[in-house]
């Protein structure tokens, strides 16, 4: 099967990533009442309505993640994939947790720090699995991503091929469709029915990018687009509350999802390959740290200065400040710590290989081992006299037979 080769960095995808992050920032700063102390409908009469759909930036993130992770695992070992993900996620995450904890501790205006024990648990990124509150509410998406990585890990054990990726799309679609009716907590937790359509569609889009579009891949994408519509009401309710969600139309959310699918599809088909603006690569690098630090820190700043600075100016200023902080986090923490962590982990993997591989080779050379004799020596049993006579007689017959053959 022919493959479409392209550069490793897709500038348009980086730009879409930043756009998705700014959608989430816009939603938190303009749609939510918490940083302002009351509803923002009177503060931002027009922008408030659009901001109520900004949470859909998370769904776009998941769509991009399906594409990017499928691209990053191709031709890599499990160890290489683990190193790339851990060194990408944790340095900025650790810094963001500590920074957010300090800000919330010093200025508990929009939220408060429940205890440093929660901070320590959050450093593992596994707090959702341990029923521990997130230091910042936006971290819930990271646990969803980790479960996606675990699914990808299983595929890597079987081999990352075109066929196995198609099997992943089919099996995951079936599991996500059956999970709500089967009412099995473990299946629901890993099938992730609300978010699976975005990850699966992202995988299918990357297969289009790497190989070529065909009817099967388009069928997968269209099916996921339809399935994604099923949970719009649920996501509206969880993001804005049931009372507000019942008053909002769903068509803007459906339109945003369709637009997200269309943009990632266009990137997969190479429609934006000519766009190679360098600032988009920087924008893509800022997306993750911006997402990690913007909510509780930004809301605290808005709440603190809400009566001193005009609302539009305050939102714009805090957004720019968060972008600058994200850039500093990327340059001063993410890059150097990530590089050091990457080097350290690779050395660790090399040490494991040096210990495991020689033992396996040694075991192959020796072959099946003979059973080890017992440390208790066996006591020889003296044969009976009749048995000795029988053995002697048999030996004499064998000797006579051998002489006869020599004579013949």
CB 130 within 8 A of CB 146: no
Q: What is the mean pLDDT of residues 70-93?
A: 94
Quick one: pLDDT at residue 357?
63
> CA 60 to CA 69: how far, in whole Å?
14
Q: Do the Cβ atoms of 333 and 92 come closer than 8 Å?
A: yes
Per-residue confidence band for 149, with pLDDT thresholds at 50, 70 and 90:
very high
Predicted local confidence at residue 235, as pLDDT: 95
> What pLDDT does residue 352 have?
85
pLDDT at 373 over 90: no
pLDDT reported for residue 114: 83
pLDDT range class, residue 351, cuts 50, 70, 90: confident
Burial degree of 223 (CB within 10 A; 0-12, 13-18, 19+): middle
What average pLDDT does the structure give for the chain?
A: 88
Q: What is the pLDDT of residue 400?
A: 45
In the chain, where the domains are located: 11-345
pLDDT at residue 188 greater than cutoff 90: yes
pTM for the predicted model, two decimal places: 0.85
Place of tokens 């072959």: 367
Asked if residue 74 has pLDDT above 50, the reply is: yes
- Please tell me the predicted confidence (pLDDT) of residue 115: 87
What DSSP element (H or E) covers 246?
none
CA distance 257 to 50: 14
Percent of the chain with pLDDT over 90: 80
Average pLDDT score over residue span 116-135: 93
Cα gap 132→261, rounded to integer Å: 34
Tokens of 230: 């099923």
pLDDT at 362: 59
């Amino acid at each position: 099967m022919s493959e479409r080769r392209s550069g490793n960095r897709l500038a348009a995808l980086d730009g879409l990533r930043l756009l998705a992050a700014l959608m989430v920032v816009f939603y938190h700063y303009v749609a939510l009442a918490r940083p302002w102390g009351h509803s923002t409908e009177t503060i931002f009469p027009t922008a408030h309505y659009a901001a109520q759909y900004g949470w859909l930036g998370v769904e776009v993130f998941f769509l991009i993640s399906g594409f990017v992770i499928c691209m990053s695992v191709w031709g890599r070992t499990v160890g290489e994939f683990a190193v790339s993900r851990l060194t990408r996620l944790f340095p900025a995450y650790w810094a963001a947790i500590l920074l957010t904890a300090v800000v919330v501790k010093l200025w508990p205006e929009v939220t408060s720090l429940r205890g440093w024990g929660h901070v320590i648990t959050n450093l593992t990124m596994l707090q959702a699995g341990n029923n521990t509150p997130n230091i910042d509410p936006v971290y819930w998406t990271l646990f969803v991503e980790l479960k996606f990585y675990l699914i990808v890990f299983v595929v890597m054990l079987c081999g990352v091929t075109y066929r196995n990726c198609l099997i992943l799309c089919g099996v995951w679609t079936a599991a996500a469709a059956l999970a709500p009716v089967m009412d099995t907590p473990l299946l629901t937790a890993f099938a992730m029915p609300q978010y699976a359509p975005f990850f699966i569609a992202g995988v299918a889009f990357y297969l289009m990018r790497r190989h070529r579009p065909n009817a099967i891949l388009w069928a997968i994408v269209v099916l996921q687009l339809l399935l994604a519509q099923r949970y719009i009401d649920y996501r509206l309710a969880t993001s804005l509350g049931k009372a507000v969600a019942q008053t909002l139309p769903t068509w803007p959310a459906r339109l945003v999802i369709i637009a997200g699918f269309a943009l990632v599809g266009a990137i997969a088909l190479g429609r934006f390959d000519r766009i190679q603006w360098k600032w988009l690569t920087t924008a893509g690098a800022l997306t993750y740290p911006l997402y990690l630090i913007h909510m509780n820190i930004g809301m605290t700043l808005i709440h603190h200065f809400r009566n001193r600075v005009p609302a539009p100016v305050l939102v714009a200023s805090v957004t720019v400040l968060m972008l600058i902080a994200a850039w500093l986090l990327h340059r001063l923490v993410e890059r150097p710590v990530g590089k050091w962590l990457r080097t350290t982990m690779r050395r660790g993997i090399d040490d494991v290989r040096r210990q495991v591989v020689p033992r396996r080779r040694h075991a192959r050379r020796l072959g099946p081992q003979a059973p080890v004799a017992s440390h208790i020596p066996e006591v020889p049993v003296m044969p009976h006299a009749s048995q000795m006579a029988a053995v002697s007689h048999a030996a004499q017959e064998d000797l006579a037979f051998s002489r006869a053959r020599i004579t013949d």
